[in-house]
Amino acid sequence: MPILPPDARFDRGPFDAADPSARTPIDAVPPSRLQLPPGPWTSLLDGVCARFPAIGRERWRERFERGRVLDARDAQPLRADAPYRAGLEILYFREVEREPQIPFAERIVHADERLLVVDKPHFLPVAPAGRFVAETLLGRLQRRFGEPALAPLHRLDAATAGLVLFSRERASRGAYQALFRERRIGKRYLALAPPLPALAFPQVRRSRIEAGEPFFLMREVAGEANSETNIEVVARQEEVWTYALQPITGRKHQLRVHMAALGAPILGDRFYPLQPQAEEDFAQPLKLLAQSLRFVDPLDGRERWFESGLAL
């Protein structure tokens, strides 16, 4: 996995003058769009504070003062005390204080007018969430290609490396999204995990997976199965086997939950079983790789097959 040189900063652009060391850069990611819903609020500030209660009122007031909330029609800054109007479309910029830097680079596997196929490194989130905005695969690609409409067609956990498929145009996006929704795309993962000599392979794991505790974990429970994974062994060493995993369904953390339930948690997994959540150790990634994608292109009928260039 290539580590970036110290001066590689992904064209992050100017930072807000208020605190250059603490804020997401101004042009780190394109703005988010919101159509204001009906409501009793008299000012824009009141309305956005009600819509995003986790962000403090003073933080929103500061964003207005710095021109970080715009009218979507002409991209002009809006005032905090402007009248609230249901139906008005606004643009706003997500910001995270002291966003962590991920020191690994993505790699473009394939690019055409409709699709991007990208090798995502370990630790890099696919899309903005929580403490990550600029340091996401989507944010990096939007800046790299200058395409704010770029969108991921599926997700990988931040801890998982490998192939992610992106749509470059809105017109064809629905056709490619249907591949995943209708399970017409073949996905193959590789994982390193402890041996399971008592089990026969290939193995099919079916179970019911639901949200667990803490909130970010999943768990197997009794009931009708809603998840299915085909599991094979492709290499056997004394202490570690290499498994090929083909998820038929796409439940959150499905592969990690299924391997742990079989008694072979994937190496480097800090969730299954749950480990103390200290800072990320870049030297110990989760040994799970989205290794290949295969599908028939819904627009031209060609068989498409993409393979990751990363290794576990």
- Count CA atoms within 13 Å of residue 170 on its CB side: 3
Report CA 149 to chain centroid distance, whole Å.
16
Catalytic residue among 157, 281, 297, 300: 157
Which 8-state DSSP code applies to residue 172? H
CA distances from 133 to 31, 71, 234 (A): 11, 22, 37
In the structure encoding, which two tokens stand for residue 272, read together? 């299954």
Which residues contact residue 235 at a Cβ distance below 8 angstroms, ignoring those fewer than 6 apart?
Answer: 241, 242
Please state, in angstroms and rounded to a whole number, the distance separating the CA atoms of residues 201 and 257: 18
Q: What is the DSSP string of 222-256?
A: SSS--EEEEEEEEEE-SS-EEEEEEESS--TTHHH
Cβ 95 vs Cβ 24: under 8 Å? yes
With vertex at residue 268, the alpha carbon angle to CA 267 and CA 271, rounded to the nearest 5 degrees, is: 105
Cβ 310 vs Cβ 119: under 8 Å? yes
In the structure encoding, which two tokens stand for residue 170, read together? 């809105």
In the structure encoding, which two tokens stand for residue 89, read together? 């479309």
Could you confirm whether 157 is annotated as catalytic? Answer: yes
Q: Which residues are catalytic?
A: 157
